[in-house]
Structure 1
Amino acid sequence: MICNGHIYGVILNDSRELARLAPAFQEKPYLAPPVAPVVYMKPASTMSHGTVRLKPGEQAVAAATLALLIARDATGVSPDQAMACIGAAALAIDITYPQADYYRPAVAQRNADTFLVMGDWGSPALADRITTMIDGQAAHNWSLDRLARSPDRLIADISAFLTLRAGDVLLVGLPGDAPQVGAGVTLRAEAAGFAPAVARVEETT
């Protein structure tokens, strides 16, 4: 499978995180919770080749998720049509430096080189439960049942304002309670039926 398009992610698609942040969304500067998917992009340079590089002494959030490879253009599709647009699925670990809030776009914090760890593409199935391992120990697990928008609904809602092209990748959402890691550890995302996403975390030199 070939990813030759854009890489899109979605924040605030974890129902538990949305519930936790609900009071803050009623305050300035938000005044209301988001009504559409909150989409961000990751450039191809964020793709890791087995190593994640962090600034010396820094910690980063390691959010394991599911990546979907779009196989046919999706514009204004319904949820029933959305799954037919998926050609493959893979585990991914989206790395980002912690941010205090979601008001300002976290471009530098989210888009550093090596900040996207990908497993091998497989059949377009949906993971049940994704586990993040740090140095061989389970550090976090979450079920896609926590997604506020299921993958089919997410694709449909995004396609209402943005065409997902064949070759694009969509990360379906991030757990709001993902663990933080520093340099010197090995990350591994696992789920039944999927190839793991694995990387060593090192400091930049």
Structure 2
Amino acid sequence: MMNTHWMPEGTVYGTLLNFQREHALWAPRMNEAPYKAPPSAPVLYIKTANTFTAAGHGIALPAGKPVVVAATLGLVMGDTGVAGAVLFNDVAIAHDSYYRPPVKFQCVDGFLGVGPECVPLQRLGGLVGLSDLHLELRINGVHRQTTALAELVRDATTLLADVGEFMSLRTGDVLMLGSDCLPDGTRPLVHAGDTVEISATGFKPVVHSFQAEVKA
């Protein structure tokens, strides 16, 4: 049977500090060394191809390391701009860094849960319509977080323009808008045996199960 799940065909970029609550929580530290100022441009990181996990598949958790999950929306580039949007579960080993997110925490095998479909942008009301979306995150059926895209620091249009000032996005690339933290500044933890579902109006839910890593 042919796999009909959508999967990224280009580079996937994530965006840090793009929600108002988390930006405000980090603000007192932004003037400390070595940076001594808030970031003037979007803070990006890469989710490498080894992290991609299709919807409905399992994600292995490294032993002894706290792992967090985050709901986010990715803009998929087409030939003439943004072609559509995809829900993602951005998984990472918990860490305390924002200017230089360590690859070893972000790019563990399987650590990007990919939504099953790319929804055409016109069905979502264009880039402006994305601000009406709320991303719901549930663990084992229990609601853990609602992420409102109206609370972005840089909305989709502004983020695309600002990223375009220093790099080009090619057809097939994905730019994730960022993920929000919980009120205490953390993100939801996930454990072996958990199932995480991320949903939003107009999208099929993104469901991934988590299990303990099995060493060869």
Q: Same fold (TM over 0.5)?
A: yes
Q: CA deviation at 1:57?
A: 3.4
Q: Verify the 8 A CA contact 2:140 2:196 in the aligned structure 1.
A: yes
User: Does residue 1:114 correspond to 2:86, yes or no?
Assistant: no
- Cα distance in 1 between the residues matched to 2:147 and 2:35: 27
Taking the aligned partners of 1:36 and 1:60, their CA distance within structure 2 comes to 28
- How far is 1:139 from its partner? 0.8
Identity of aligned residues (%): 36
Asked if structure 2 preserves the Cα contact closer than 8 Å seen for 1:2 and 1:167, the reply is no
- Please show how residues 103-142 of structure 1 align to structure 2 within 5 Å: 103-119=99-115, 120-124=117-121, 125=124, 126=130, 128-142=133-147
1:127-166 equivalences under 5 Å are 128-166=133-171
What is the CA-CA distance between 1:103 and the residue it aligns to? 4.4
TM-score in terms of structure 2 length: 0.85
Amino acid at match of 2:160: I
Partner of 1:51: 58
Q: Does 1:69 align with 2:76?
A: yes
Q: Deviations over 1:29-69 (max 9, x none)?
A: 23111110001111111001311111123321101010111
Partner Cα separation in structure 1 for residue 8 and residue 107 of structure 2 = 18
Is the CA contact (8 Å cut-off) linking 1:14 and 1:146 kept in structure 2?
A: yes
Tell me how large the CA RMSD over aligned residues is. Answer: 1.5
Please tell me whether the aligned partners of residues 7 and 114 of structure 2 are also in contact (alpha carbons under 8 angstroms). Answer: no
1:203 to 188, 193, 212: 212
Normalising by structure 1, we get a TM-score of 0.89
Q: Provide the C-alpha distance between the structure 1 equivalents of 2:49 and 2:173, rounded to a whole number of angstroms.
A: 11
- Deviation at residue 2 of structure 1 after TM alignment: 6.4
Residue 88 of structure 1 and its aligned partner are, at CA, apart by 1.3
Counterpart residue identity of residue 197, structure 2: R
CA distance in 1, matches of 2:189, 2:47: 20
Higher mean displacement: 94-103 or 38-47: 94-103
Runs of 4+ in 1 over 4 A off after TM superposition: none
- 1:148-169 CA-partner distances (Å, limit 9, x unpaired): 0001110110011100001101
Q: Deviations over 1:51-107 (max 9, x none)?
A: 11111233211010101110026xxxxxxxxxxx11111111100111122244310
Map of 2:40 onto structure 1: 35
What are the superposed Cα offsets for residues 97-135 of structure 1, whole Å, 9 maximum, x if unpaired? Answer: 111222443100000111111112112222610010100
